Chains A and B, each alone.
Chain A
Amino acid sequence: MSKGTNKASNALNELRDMDELANGDSPIHRLHPLVKFLVTIAYIYFVVSFSKYDITGLFIMLIYPVLIFSIANIKVSTCFYKLRLVLPLVLMVGIFNPIFEGRAGVVSMITLMMKGTFSLMASFIMVATTPIDGLCAALRKIHVPSILVTLLLLTYRYIGVLVREVAIMTDAYKLRAPKQKGIAINAWGSFLGQLLLRSMDKASELYNSMQLRAFKGEFFYASQRGLNCLDVIYLVACIGGFVAARFINLTETLGGLFV
Chain B
Amino acid sequence: MHMADALLSPAVATTMYAASTVAAGASIFKVNKEKESIKIPTMAVTAALVFAGQMINYTIPGTGSSGHICGGMLLTSLLGPQAGFLSMIVILAIQCLFFADGGLLALGANCWNMAFYGCFVGYYLIWKPIMKSKLNERLKLIIAPIVGCILTLQLGAFSVVLETSLSGITDLPFGTFVSIMQPIHLAIGLVEGLVTSAVLLFIKEARPELIKDLRPTEAWNCDAAKDAKSNGKLSFKATIAVLAAVAIVIGGGFSLLASSNPDGLEWSLFGNADSGYSQNMGLDEEDYGVKSTAADKAQSVQDKTSILPDYGFKDSDSFLGTSTSGIVGIGVVAAVIVVVSLIPKLVKKKEKDEQGDK
Residues of chain A having any CB pair with chain B under 8 Å: 7-8, 11, 14-15, 18, 40-41, 44-45, 47-53, 55-56, 59-60, 62-63, 66-67, 69-71, 73, 76, 79, 82-83, 85-86, 89-90, 93-94, 96-97, 99-101, 103-108, 112-113, 115-116, 119-120, 123-124, 127, 135, 145, 147-148, 150-152, 154-159, 161-163, 165-167, 170, 180-185, 188-197, 199-200, 202-204, 206-207, 210-211, 216-217, 246-247, 249-259
Bitwise interface map of B from 332 to 356 toward A, beta carbon under 8 Å scored 1, else 0: 1110110011111000000000000
Contacts of B344 in A (CB 8 A): 70, 73
Inter-chain CA distance A120–B198, complex, in Å, is: 36
Indicate if the CB atoms of A66 and B341 lie closer than 8 Å.
yes
Say yes or no: is B7 at the interface (Cβ < 8 Å to chain A): yes
Indicate if the CB atoms of A147 and B59 lie closer than 8 Å.
no
What is the total number of residues of chain B having a CB less than 8 Å from a CB of chain A? 106
Interface centre among A166, A181, A255 (most CB of B within 10 A): A255
Contacts of B301 in A (CB 8 A): 247
Q: Which of B39-47, B218-226, B254-262, B267-275 contacts A (4 or more CB under 8 A)?
A: B39-47
Contacts of A147 in B (CB 8 A): 28, 31-32, 37, 40, 86
Indicate if the CB atoms of A163 and B4 lie closer than 8 Å.
no
Q: Which of A63, A155, A192 contacts B48 (CB 8 A)?
A: A155
Indicate if the CB atoms of B24 and A86 lie closer than 8 Å.
no
Smallest CB separation, A185 vs chain B (Å): 5
Closest 8 CB pairs between A and B?
A255-B329, A53-B313, A193-B202, A189-B198, A255-B328, A182-B57, A154-B44, A251-B329
Indicate if the CB atoms of A11 and B4 lie closer than 8 Å.
no
Instruction: Please judge, given known A-B contacts A188-B58, A252-B323, whether A200 and B207 are in contact too, CB under 8 Å.
Output: yes
Inter-chain CA distance A190–B56, complex, in Å, is: 13
Say yes or no: is B228 at the interface (Cβ < 8 Å to chain A): no
Say yes or no: is B295 at the interface (Cβ < 8 Å to chain A): no
- The B interface, classified by DSSP as helix, strand, loop or mixed, is helix
Indicate if the CB atoms of A52 and B169 lie closer than 8 Å.
yes
Indicate if the CB atoms of B336 and A148 lie closer than 8 Å.
no
Inter-chain CA distance A101–B8, complex, in Å, is: 20
Inter-chain CA distance A127–B97, complex, in Å, is: 7
Indicate if the CB atoms of B326 and A56 lie closer than 8 Å.
yes
Say yes or no: is B114 at the interface (Cβ < 8 Å to chain A): no
Say yes or no: is B206 at the interface (Cβ < 8 Å to chain A): yes
Contacts of A253 in B (CB 8 A): 325, 329
